[in-house]
Amino acid sequence: MGQDDVESIRRMAGLATPIALRVAVTLALPDRLVGQGVRVDELADELGVAPVALDLLLAHLATLGIVEPIGSGYRTTEYGANLRADAGNGLVDLLHLDAAGGRSELAFVELAHTVTTGRAGYPRRYGQDFWADVAEHPRLRESFDRQMNHRLREEIPKLVAGVDWSRFGSVVDVGGGRGALLAAILAAHPRLHGHLLDLAPTATHARRAFEAQGLADRAQVTEGSFFDPLPPGADAYLLVDILHDWDDAHAHRILDRCLEAMRPTSRLLIIEPIGDFRATPEFNLAMLVMYGGRERRLEEFRTLTAPHRLTLDTVVDLTDQRCLLEFRPTDDR
């Protein structure tokens, strides 16, 4: 192994840069250092942090191009402005240590535990699983909802166009978040009725969104969990980025609820990344460490759904991130 290889591995393994970026976002440094910049001692006094340590942090951020020295202080570069709260790119919720994304990624320090046990590292670090944490802390729920909205935002047109929603008269969006996807589906299909189910804080946002878009007469919202009975009798039940958040035992419970609610002619539509196809190994590892879930391969989906007597009819490549798997109940269920 040459010295170049050693240096390359050293850079990949280094924690200083990823943590420095997260601390910069948490302290809102890119927001505070706009314009002509700020002196380090003044900024340290404003933030109530150690001046020498802050100077060292900013010096490292300067090597990354996030800030640049100016006089006795620093200012945010054009590149670093991508980390401002008003950048609209989702990075703040992903990196901020007090947001759901930034907090959950720190569970990677428990990767050895995850590899040893096959279980999520999040509960080992924080004392309870991610979902219990989010339920207990409204700020985490808010940031998680924003993160999920941003993650889907650019893909929604393709998710609407890539599925023949006109086949259905009614769709239940199970765990549908703030309703952005369902609203787009309903707007594109004026005869379709939608029903969104999610936990109370998120469901309230969805209800307001449907009202604001003039869809309240065709979009019903129910506050609840997908581990509880679902609204029955719809033509289609939609799970977008749901099953990959859960291990097989919890995924079976979700599928049980879907099957209880479905009619013999109903369809189950699963939209999420597929392992070895639309899911990177890095993202797959993150799903396991944070939630105990994973991006299942097609054969794993067949194995998961077989006890529920669901038959995979269609696989559609919707976007560069997500696929559609359409299931129908078998006649002898």
Domain boundary among 127, 149, 171: 149
Q: Is residue 199 part of a domain?
A: yes
pLDDT of residue 81: 97
Q: Which residue do the tokens 């800030």 mark?
A: 67
- How many angstroms separate the CA atoms of 82 and 92, rounded? 9
For residue 205, indicate whether it is catalytic: no
- Amino acid letter at 140? L
Regarding whether 259 and 232 lie in a shared domain, the answer is yes
- How many angstroms separate the CA atoms of 134 and 143, rounded? 9
Domain boundary among 100, 121, 149: 149
Domain boundary among 35, 52, 85: 85
Regarding whether 109 and 212 lie in a shared domain, the answer is no
Q: Is residue 223 part of a domain?
A: yes
Q: Is residue 94 part of a domain?
A: yes
Q: Is residue 282 part of a domain?
A: no
Q: Which residues contact 275 (CB under 8 A, 6 or more apart)?
A: 284, 294, 295, 296, 297, 300
- How many angstroms separate the CA atoms of 77 and 38, rounded? 13
pLDDT of residue 77: 97
Regarding whether 202 and 294 lie in a shared domain, the answer is yes
The distance from CA 159 to its chain's CA centroid, rounded to whole angstroms, is: 16
> Is the confidence at residue 247, as pLDDT, over 60?
yes
Mean pLDDT in the chain?
A: 94
Regarding whether 205 and 268 lie in a shared domain, the answer is yes
Regarding whether 246 and 178 lie in a shared domain, the answer is yes
Q: Is residue 216 part of a domain?
A: yes
- How many angstroms separate the CA atoms of 95 and 21, rounded? 8
**Tokens found for residue 78:** 């054009």
pLDDT of residue 1: 62
Q: Comparing 331 with 69, which gets the higher pLDDT?
A: 69
pLDDT of residue 276: 72
Write the CATH number for 225: 3.40.50.150
Regarding whether 110 and 197 lie in a shared domain, the answer is no
> Is the confidence at residue 104, as pLDDT, over 60?
yes
Regarding whether 113 and 144 lie in a shared domain, the answer is yes
Regarding whether 201 and 144 lie in a shared domain, the answer is no
The distance from CA 179 to its chain's CA centroid, rounded to whole angstroms, is: 14
Q: Is residue 285 part of a domain?
A: no
The mean pLDDT of 231-253, rounded to a whole number, is 97
Distances (CA, A) of 74 to 44, 59, 86: 12, 9, 20
Give 268-324 pLDDT, tens digit per residue: 999 999 987 777 888 899 999 999 999 999 999 999 999 999 999 999 999 988 999
pLDDT of residue 306: 95
> Is the confidence at residue 333, as pLDDT, over 60?
no
Closest CA to 157 of 185, 198, 137: 185
Regarding whether 184 and 45 lie in a shared domain, the answer is no
Distances (CA, A) of 115 to 10, 128, 185, 245: 22, 18, 40, 17
Catalytic pick from 244, 250, 252, 308? Answer: 244
pLDDT of residue 65: 98
> Is the confidence at residue 170, as pLDDT, over 70?
yes
**Tokens found for residue 293:** 């879930």
Write the CATH number for 98: 1.10.287.1350
pTM flag (> 0.85)? yes
Regarding whether 101 and 72 lie in a shared domain, the answer is no
Domain count for the chain? 3
Regarding whether 310 and 165 lie in a shared domain, the answer is yes
Q: Which residue do the tokens 């996807």 mark?
A: 181
Question: What domain range includes position 197?
Answer: 154-276+290-329
Closest CA to 287 of 225, 318, 242: 242
Q: Is residue 93 part of a domain?
A: yes
Q: Is residue 208 part of a domain?
A: yes
Regarding whether 252 and 178 lie in a shared domain, the answer is yes
**Tokens found for residue 316:** 């559609």
Write the CATH number for 74: 1.10.10.10
pLDDT of residue 332: 58
Give 45-79 pLDDT, tens digit per residue: 999 999 999 999 999 999 999 999 998 899 999 99
